């Protein structure tokens, strides 16, 4: 998803009492690092009291540390019931769609996961393609990302792309192959009376499809290995870095 806080350093703190089960937390920004401290267990020997997560970790991972004397309680990697990203896509619910395929062809054809409801001649914009962040799999079709195009509807879930200035078909044969993901947002809303496409105009007064905004929600699920026991008191320290860079393999 598009990062609404790009380039900003943000911090967030919270306190909660655990129910002893996995729970999904909502944050005011897209978190890059989070630490959960189990205050209740801080004085307990051989118990994990700290769980740390960085964006880019595999789903279910958490680095856990304890205060006990047993080696296993000092530091361990949880790989199943740690943290998992649960962000929502957000956007204009009536007009954005997720992508299930993009062709390397002339013209370029896009397939959406559900019926798009668009009309020929409308303009759309692509996001969440290409390289989306450190440690994350590139999604391909970098050349489309953050660009606008005119569409020609082919089916209820497919459309082809044309240049917004010349109206020439977009030739994507040499573009980076699509791998997964991406989203498309309608930019121009009104082409004909019914928009998105609806059954023919028959009702007076006409009631158009309402404009509905679904806000982006930044969520992180803390698994059972993080959440301790029912009644445990926790403190959260969450950070978004102003810059978060994957330095790769450092050569000597």
Using CA atoms, how far apart are residues 220 and 24, in angstroms rounded to an integer?
6
Residue 74: phi and psi, rounded to 5, are -80, -45
Cβ atoms of 28 and 218 within 8 Å: the answer is yes
- Provide the pLDDT for residue 116: 87
- Provide the pLDDT for residue 12: 95
- Provide the pLDDT for residue 70: 54
- Provide the pLDDT for residue 189: 58
- Provide the pLDDT for residue 197: 46
| Tokens standing for residue 138 | 């590139």
Low-confidence ranges of the chain (pLDDT < 50): 1-2, 191-198, 201, 206, 209
Does this model's pTM top 0.75?
Answer: no
Question: Domains in the chain, ordered, with CATH?
Answer: 10-87+217-240 (no CATH), 94-214 (2.40.30.180)
Give the SS3 label for residue 231: coil
SS3 content of the chain, % helix, strand, coil (to 5): 5, 35, 55
Cβ atoms of 152 and 120 within 8 Å: the answer is yes
Residue 209: which of 125, 115, 129 has the closest Cα? 115
């Amino acid at each position: 998803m598009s990062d609404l806080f790009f380039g900003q350093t943000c911090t967030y703190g919270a306190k909660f009492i655990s129910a002893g089960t996995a729970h999904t937390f909502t944050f005011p920004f897209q978190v890059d690092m989070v630490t959960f401290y189990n205050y209740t267990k801080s004085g307990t020997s051989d118990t994990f009291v700290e769980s740390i997560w960085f964006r880019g970790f595999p789903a279910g991972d958490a680095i856990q540390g304890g205060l006990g004397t047993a080696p296993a309680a000092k530091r361990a990697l949880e790989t199943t019931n740690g943290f998992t990203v649960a962000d929502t896509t957000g956007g204009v619910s009536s007009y954005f769609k997720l992508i299930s395929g993009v062709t390397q062809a002339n013209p370029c054809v896009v397939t959406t996961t559900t019926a798009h409801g668009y009309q020929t001649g409308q303009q759309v914009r692509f996001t969440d393609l290409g390289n989306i962040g450190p440690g994350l799999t590139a999604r391909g079709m970098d050349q489309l990302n953050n660009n606008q195009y005119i569409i020609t509807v082919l089916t209820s879930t497919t459309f082809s792309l044309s240049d917004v200035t010349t109206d020439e078909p977009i030739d994507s044969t040499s573009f980076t192959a699509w791998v997964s993901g991406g989203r498309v947002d309608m930019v121009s809303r009104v082409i004909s009376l019914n928009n998105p496409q609806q059954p023919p105009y028959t009702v007076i007064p006409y009631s158009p499809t309402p404009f509905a905004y679904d806000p982006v929600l930044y969520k992180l699920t803390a698994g059972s290995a993080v959440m301790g026991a029912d009644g445990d008191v926790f403190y959260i320290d969450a950070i978004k870095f102003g810059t978060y860079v994957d330095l790769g393999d450092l050569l000597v």
